[in-house]
Structure 1
Amino acid sequence: MKQGILSEILDYSNRANPYPLYEELRKTPVFHDGTGPYVISTYHEIQGLLHDPRLSSDARNLAATAVDPLAEEADEEASALPPVFLRMDPPEHDRLRRMTNRPFGPPHSPYRIDGMRGDLKGIVTGLIDDFADPGRIDIVEQFSYPFPVTAICRLLGVPREDEPRFQVWAGIIAKSLDPDPNVDPRDRLKGGHDAQMELGMYLAGLIQERGKKPGDDMLSQLAVGHGQDGTMSTIELISTAALMLVAGHETTVNLITNGMLTLLRNPDVLHQLRREPGLAAPLVEELLRFEPPVQLLPQRTPLVDLEVCGVTIPKGSAMWLVLASGNRDPLRFENPDRFDPYRKDIQHLGLGSGIHSCFGAPLARLEAQLALSELARRLENPRLIEDPPPYRQNVALRGPRHLYVTCDGIRP
């Protein structure tokens, strides 16, 4: 194992295909170059750590001497809003996650997401109808970016006339999380910070309105909810709503875009999806294994000295859990580098696991299923214009910045 493997993973020139690097990384399941993070790359070890209460997601538990290039980058991109439950440990994490889940999913709101199916289908239909030039479609800008932002707005109860403002804020914040060598880092960070402030002020006003006159949207129910944990404070509610907008949006954009790219590289599967719409559900699960939108989880640290595969990881050390590598582990998945939507054993790591498993998974799954099945059905003979496409700089949230596609027409 060469010591420069982490530099190669961070190197943008390898963004289009990091999987050979992950294969090399798995030869040393717990890799440490002596100065950087401890990197875990094999399926069973990652799965075990995701369920281990001795592993913290709270950056305050990271030792001052720990070196983690992604954590340092996150510190530079300090949020204008308080920490979200994603970056907390129990019991505070559990309290806020329970309160957020109450109006979102089972057992209290079992039909929240499925009840959005018709609205989501309408958004997808409208976006595809608006493809002006079938000869050159940017799947990211024209489809996979606006779709989840609009969906989150509808879920939260943002007035439709304000949805364009949310799209602008989401776009600026997303760019602030994605380093661009052509943009001054100070300008990028200031833009993200200012957008978060504007978003926070807007949400504060909306929360105040919903508290006085609640509707059946999620933001209203969070504002007036009365569960075992009481109600959220205004600042907690602002941070949680912003988390749903930004985190849910960014990962779903990558999921849909990675999915369309994978289908175009596997035209036989694309044709099968067109003939068998029911294939969408297992196809998305295989996609979450094969090309997960979240490649790795940084900013994890052990609360005690932790032994993994015979290696002692000292308390307070920086750790990376490389989910995308675990998903290609041949000790867990047969023919892991093959995209197979009929794969029977599909317990992937694409949505995480344990207490920090993806909160928005039900919505992300439904969005991806509707998006990919409709694109497969309506685009006539679609082909890639550029392969590989240009990728985002972000190593953890991996996906194309643009995905240019040409087709012979748009079916009704």
Structure 2
Amino acid sequence: MAVSPSNLLDQVLDYTNRANPYPIYAKMREHPIQLQDDGRYVVSSYNLVSQLIKDPRMSVDMRKSNEPTIRVEQQEPGFVFQDPPKHDWLRQQVMSKFTPQLISSLRPRLEEIVNELLDAQHGQTQMDIVDNFAYPLPVTAICELLGIPREDEAQFHIWSTMIIKGSNLGRDLEAVKEARQGRELLNNYMGQLIDRIQQQPRPGLLSAMIHDNTVEKQMNRIELVTTATLLLIAGHETTVNLITNSTLTLMRHPAEFERLRRQPAIIPNLIEEVLRYEPPVQFTMRNALTDLTIEGIQIPKGSIIMLMNAAANRDPAHFQDPDRFNPVRPAIEHFGFGGGIHYCVGAPLARLEADIALRALARRLINPRLLQDPPPYRESPTLRGPRHLLVSFERIAD
């Protein structure tokens, strides 16, 4: 039988627990499927998340759920919130342009951006990792990649923040309303930009998708707008958290930071460990396309099912000593980028940006330390990461 001791999902959503939700996740795993007071089901074990994240009976399209407050009230959501076959077709339109060769070619430019950001800190002895580094890097990168004017960042940053604030699972109706408004404003902006690009092609993925003559069927205007909006938000919000969570974790483990400085070759594995240990996306939502029975528990059609990726990532039944940060941990099979057909499209780019960022921080940040721990966190319980991360240091090396 599903049980809900102390309605643990409410505790995860409570901002006072944002700095450390992991003890709550541990309680969740004591009963891997829990029915919450609001009728949602929380799934927290590694094995169950692994099964359900790939289960075709699970839908990511919230228009199919029983909860009106979380239904996507727009003509069409981005492809990560759609099911096959539409999801598969739209995803392929993106992946055909977002190739491994393209991502690899971005390395020199990303290294240039990273060094420019750190060069700007010469003469300083402290900085905000978020505002001065982890945010401007992926924002600049995704703008250049898509062909979006970087000078418009101040506008879409506000709209993106409004949208992210609404990712509170429909609990705060004002936040839901604000998110809807932010989505409309950002979609309108993207629509106008797409209209200009249709008239005048320019470098970038948006122009490549708009003017693609190699496919039998092109995306229509609505599909282009929602895809562009999705790529812009997803292309920087999660990467900001990945870089910031990585930096915070290393600052909390000075010996590991020194090991990183001496052995930068461990960075790829270290990033996977951060994705397990402090994932930028804590959980995802599904809804049941049919009546289900999981582990003997009956779940009605349309019910919301919360896949608690961060809880599964620390499941002791799958990971040895899961609450220990170990950058050389072997075989790290995590849910930091989701899984199944909805595995994060931008994962290779996020990994590359984090790799370059951490190499530069380890080499150039001399004797860093945290100025505030825990730092203030962003409001979103889903996209979890520090809003600011203040560190002091002796100097920025050349």
Post-superposition offset of 1:220: 1.7
Residue 151 of structure 2 is aligned to residue 164 of structure 1: yes
Q: Please tell me the residue identity of whatever aligns with 2:372.
A: E
Do the aligned partners of residues 79 and 370 (structure 1) sit closer, same or farther apart at CA in structure 2, a change above 3 Å counting?
Answer: farther
Post-superposition offset of 1:318: 1.1
Root-mean-square deviation (CA, aligned residues, Å) is 2.3
- The one-character-per-residue Cα deviations of 1:127-154 (angstroms, maximum 9, x if unpaired) are 1111266333111111111111111011
Do the aligned partners of residues 189 and 9 (structure 1) sit closer, same or farther apart at CA in structure 2, a change above 3 Å counting?
Answer: closer
* SS of corresponding position for 1:31: strand
Match of 2:264 among 263, 277, 283: 277
User: More deviation in 239-248 or 383-392?
Assistant: 239-248
Q: Please tell me the residue identity of whatever aligns with 1:100.
A: V
Match of 1:267 among 229, 250, 254: 254
User: After the TM superposition, which residues 233-248 of structure 1 pair with which residues of structure 2 at under 5 Å, given as runs?
Assistant: 233-248=220-235
Residue 110 of structure 2 is aligned to residue 120 of structure 1: yes
Residue 385 of structure 2 is aligned to residue 399 of structure 1: yes
Q: Which residue of 1 aligns with 2:279?
A: 292
* SS of corresponding position for 1:111: helix
Residue 207 of structure 2 is aligned to residue 220 of structure 1: yes
Contact 2:165 2:179 in 1 (8 A): no
Residue 7 of structure 2 is aligned to residue 4 of structure 1: yes
Residue 124 of structure 2 is aligned to residue 130 of structure 1: no
> Partners in 2 of 1:324 and 1:48 — Cα distance?
15
Do the aligned partners of residues 281 and 344 (structure 1) sit closer, same or farther apart at CA in structure 2, a change above 3 Å counting?
Answer: same
Q: Please tell me the residue identity of whatever aligns with 1:122.
A: E
Q: Which residue of 1 aligns with 2:144?
A: 154
Post-superposition offset of 1:201: 4.0
Q: Please tell me the residue identity of whatever aligns with 1:231.
A: Q
* SS of corresponding position for 1:289: helix
Post-superposition offset of 1:373: 1.5
Contact 1:172 1:191 in 2 (8 A): no
Match of 2:84 among 81, 87, 90: 90
Contact 1:29 1:309 in 2 (8 A): no
Match of 1:255 among 218, 242, 245: 242
Q: Which residue of 2 aligns with 1:336?
A: 322
Contact 1:3 1:33 in 2 (8 A): no
Residue 93 of structure 2 is aligned to residue 99 of structure 1: yes
Q: Runs of 5+ in structure 1 lacking a partner? A: none
User: After the TM superposition, which residues 158-237 of structure 1 pair with which residues of structure 2 at under 5 Å, given as runs?
Assistant: 158=148, 162-178=149-165, 196-228=183-215, 230-237=217-224
> Partners in 1 of 2:111 and 2:205 — Cα distance?
19
Q: Please tell me the residue identity of whatever aligns with 1:235.
A: I
Do the aligned partners of residues 25 and 195 (structure 1) sit closer, same or farther apart at CA in structure 2, a change above 3 Å counting?
Answer: closer
Q: Please tell me the residue identity of whatever aligns with 2:81.
A: R
* SS of corresponding position for 2:102: coil
> Partners in 2 of 1:273 and 1:328 — Cα distance?
23
> Partners in 2 of 1:372 and 1:314 — Cα distance?
45
Post-superposition offset of 1:205: 4.0
> Partners in 2 of 1:79 and 1:385 — Cα distance?
42
User: More deviation in 342-351 or 32-41?
Assistant: 32-41
Calculate percent identity across the aligned residue pairs: 44
Residue 114 of structure 2 is aligned to residue 111 of structure 1: no
Q: Which residue of 2 aligns with 1:366?
A: 352
Do the aligned partners of residues 276 and 236 (structure 1) sit closer, same or farther apart at CA in structure 2, a change above 3 Å counting?
Answer: same
Give the TM-score of the pair, scaled to structure 2.
0.92
Match of 1:37 among 35, 40, 43: 40
Contact 2:159 2:186 in 1 (8 A): no
Residue 303 of structure 2 is aligned to residue 317 of structure 1: yes
Post-superposition offset of 1:82: 3.4
Q: Please tell me the residue identity of whatever aligns with 2:293.
A: E
User: More deviation in 129-138 or 269-278?
Assistant: 129-138
**How many residues were matched structurally?**
391
* SS of corresponding position for 1:17: coil
Q: Please tell me the residue identity of whatever aligns with 2:234.
A: A
Contact 1:144 1:256 in 2 (8 A): yes
> Partners in 2 of 1:190 and 1:34 — Cα distance?
23
Contact 2:122 2:396 in 1 (8 A): no
* SS of corresponding position for 2:165: coil
* SS of corresponding position for 1:112: helix
Q: Please tell me the residue identity of whatever aligns with 2:273.
A: E
> Partners in 2 of 1:95 and 1:42 — Cα distance?
31
> Partners in 2 of 1:82 and 1:308 — Cα distance?
30
Q: Please tell me the residue identity of whatever aligns with 1:90.
A: P
Q: Please tell me the residue identity of whatever aligns with 1:88.
A: Q
> Partners in 1 of 2:217 and 2:318 — Cα distance?
42
Q: Runs of 5+ in structure 2 lacking a partner? A: none
Q: Please tell me the residue identity of whatever aligns with 2:98.
A: F
Post-superposition offset of 1:229: 5.3
Q: Please tell me the residue identity of whatever aligns with 2:135.
A: Y
Do the aligned partners of residues 410 and 2 (structure 1) sit closer, same or farther apart at CA in structure 2, a change above 3 Å counting?
Answer: same
Residue 380 of structure 2 is aligned to residue 386 of structure 1: no
User: More deviation in 208-217 or 43-52?
Assistant: 208-217
- The one-character-per-residue Cα deviations of 1:175-222 (angstroms, maximum 9, x if unpaired) are 442279xxxx89977776565445434433443444355355211210
